[in-house]
């Protein structure tokens, strides 16, 4: 995946444009942080959890259906998980990472200037890359690891919603967005428990339209 992001960066830096017109492709890359948590219930009781901070990195392709309407496909590495208090000052940290593929519809607000706000929504598929369980606190630090004994669904899917803005700066367009993602698949296989990913993300990046006919 690192090679994919590197290739995206090289291609993007070698091309210049502004906001894409209808029918135009744009490529870009972005990175940011996740504030991840999980909605967990066991035997009908909601379990207390705290958030875990992780990272995300993505390359994307955007297709402008109209100057104000576009589709965006991403290839994303994203870290998720949660923290659960265990008592006696000890926390159990679930650290998971996924290769995620979101497909979203983006609606831009025409302003006629260099700043162009937008909002978007869509769905994603995610595939587990790594999983770890860590116990920390009270002088204890133990990396348990998920292992095959921690039965779970390694494929997830869900919905994302976000807002942001593009900023025209010279030959490229900088982009900033805030996103909330909700996993819709129960990632545990225990019939008496449910666990769903919840992630708030903030990311910054850039994009460069390809081809001719771009306008601002």
Rounded to a whole number, what is the distance in angstroms from the first to the last CA of the chain? 32
Helix (H) or strand (E) holding 9: helix 2-13
- pLDDT tens digits, one per residue of 34-91: 999 999 998 888 988 999 999 999 999 999 999 899 999 999 999 999 998 877 777 8
Residue spans of beta strands (DSSP E) within the chain: 25-42, 45-46, 52-66, 69-87, 90-108, 115-137, 140-143, 155-169, 172-183, 193-209
Burial (CB count within 10 angstroms: exposed 0-12, middle 13-18, buried 19+), residue 53: exposed
- Please report the pLDDT score of residue 212 as a whole number: 54
Is 155 a residue whose pLDDT tops 90?
yes
Architecture of the domain made up of 2-209: Beta Barrel (2.40)
- pLDDT tens digits, one per residue of 185-206: 999 988 889 999 999 999 999 9
56 forms beta bridges with 32, 78
User: pLDDT exceeding 90 applies to what percent of the chain?
Assistant: 60
3-state secondary structure of 13: helix
Q: Do residues 141 and 84 make contact, with C-beta atoms less than 8 angstroms apart?
A: no
pLDDT tier for residue 133 given thresholds of 50, 70 and 90: confident
């Amino acid at each position: 995946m690192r090679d994919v992001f590197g290739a995206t960066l090289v291609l993007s830096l070698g091309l210049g444009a502004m906001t894409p017109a209808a029918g135009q492709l744009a490529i870009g890359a972005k990175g940011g942080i996740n504030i991840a948590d999980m909605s967990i219930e066991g035997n009908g009781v909601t379990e207390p959890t705290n958030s875990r901070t992780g990272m995300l990195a993505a390359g994307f392709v955007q297709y402008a259906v109209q100057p104000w309407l576009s589709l965006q496909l991403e290839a994303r590495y994203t870290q998720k998980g949660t923290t659960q208090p265990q008592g006696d000052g000890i926390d159990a940290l679930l650290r998971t990472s996924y290769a995620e593929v979101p497909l979203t519809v983006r609606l831009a607000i025409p302003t006629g200037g260099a700043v162009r706000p937008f909002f978007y929504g869509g769905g994603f598929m995610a595939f587990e890359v790594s999983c770890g369980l860590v116990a920390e606190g009270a002088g204890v630090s133990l990396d348990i690891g998920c292992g095959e004994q921690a039965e779970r669904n390694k494929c997830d899917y869900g919905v994302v919603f976000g807002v942001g803005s593009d900023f025209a700066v010279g030959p490229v367009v900088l982009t900033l967005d805030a996103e909330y993602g909700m996993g819709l698949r129960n990632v545990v296989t225990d019939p008496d428990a449910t666990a769903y990913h919840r992630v708030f993300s903030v990311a910054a990046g850039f994009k460069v339209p390809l081809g001719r006919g771009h306008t601002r």
